[in-house]
Amino acid sequence: MISSETVKHVAKLARLKVSDNEVNEYSKQLSRVLEHFESLKAVNTEGVEPLVTPNPASEYRRVDEVVPSKEANTWISHSPDKIGNLVKVPTVVG
Partner 1 sequence: MATMQKIKNHAEELASQIRDGSFKAVDAVESSLDKIQKKNSALNAIISTLNERALDRAQQIDKATTRNGKLFGVPVVVKDNFCVEGSQTTAGSKILKGFVSNYSATVIERLEAQGAVVIAKANMDEFAMGSSNENSAYGAVKNPWNEACVPGGSSGGSAAAVASEMAPIALGTDTGGSIRLPAHYCGVYGLKPTYGRVSRYGIVAFASSLDQAGPMARSVRDLSLAYDSVAGFDHKDSTTYTETAVDTYSKLTSNIKGKRIGVVTSHIENVDQNNKELITKAIDTLKSLGATVVEIDLPYTENSISVYYMIATSEASSNLARYDGIRYGVRAEGATLDELYENSRGLGFGPEVKRRIMLGTYALSSGYYDAYYKKACQVRRLIKNGFQAAFEKCDLIVGPVATSSAFKLTERSQDPLKMYLNDIYTTSINLAGLPALSAPIGIQKDGLPVGLHLIAKAYDEQVLLNVALSLEEALPGFERTAGVRG
Partner 2 sequence: MAKEYTTPEGFEAVIGLEIHAQLLTHSKMFCGCSTEFGKGDNANTCPTCLGMPGALPVLNKKALEFSALIGLGLNCEVRKESVFARKNYFYPDLPKGYQISQFDKPLCENGHLEYLSDGTKKRVRIERAHMEEDAGKSTHHGTYSVVNYNRSSVPLLEIVSGPDMRGPLEAADYARAVRAILVYLDVCDGNLEEGSMRCDCNVSVRRSGEQKLGTKVEIKNINSFRFIEKALQFEIERQVDAVQSGEKIVQETRLYDPDKNRTFTMRTKEEAHDYRYFPEPDLLPVVIDEAFMNEVRAKLPELPLQKAYRFQKEYEIPEYDAFVLTQSRELADYFELVARSTENPKISSNWVMVELLAKLNEQKMGITRSPVPASALAGLINLMQKGVISGRTAKDVFAEMFETGASAEQIIKEKGLAQISGNDEIKKVIQEVFVNSPNQLAQYRSGKDKLFGYFVGQVMKATSGQANPEVTNELLKEMLKGS
Q: How far is the CB of 18 from partner 2 (least distance, A)?
A: 16
Other residues' Cβ atoms within 10 Å of the Cβ of residue 29: 12
**Could you tell me which residues come within 8 angstroms of residue 82 by beta carbon, excluding any fewer than 6 positions away?**
76, 88
- Spatial distance between the Cα atoms of 25 and 18, rounded to a whole number of angstroms: 10
**Binding residues for partner 1 restricted to 16-35, rule: CB under 8 A:** 16-18, 22, 26, 29-30, 32-34
**Binding residues for partner 1 restricted to 74-93, rule: CB under 8 A:** 74-76, 78-81, 87, 89-93
Identity of the residue, 13 or 66, whose beta carbon is nearer to partner 1 in the bound complex: 13
Q: How far is the CB of 44 from partner 1 (least distance, A)?
A: 9
Q: By three-state DSSP, how is residue 83 classified?
A: strand
- Spatial distance between the Cα atoms of 65 and 68, rounded to a whole number of angstroms: 9
Q: How far is the CB of 61 from partner 1 (least distance, A)?
A: 9
Catalog residues that contact partner 2 under the rule CB under 8 A: 13, 15, 52-53, 56-57, 59-67, 69-72, 75-76, 78, 83-94
Tell me the sheet residues that pair with 82: 87
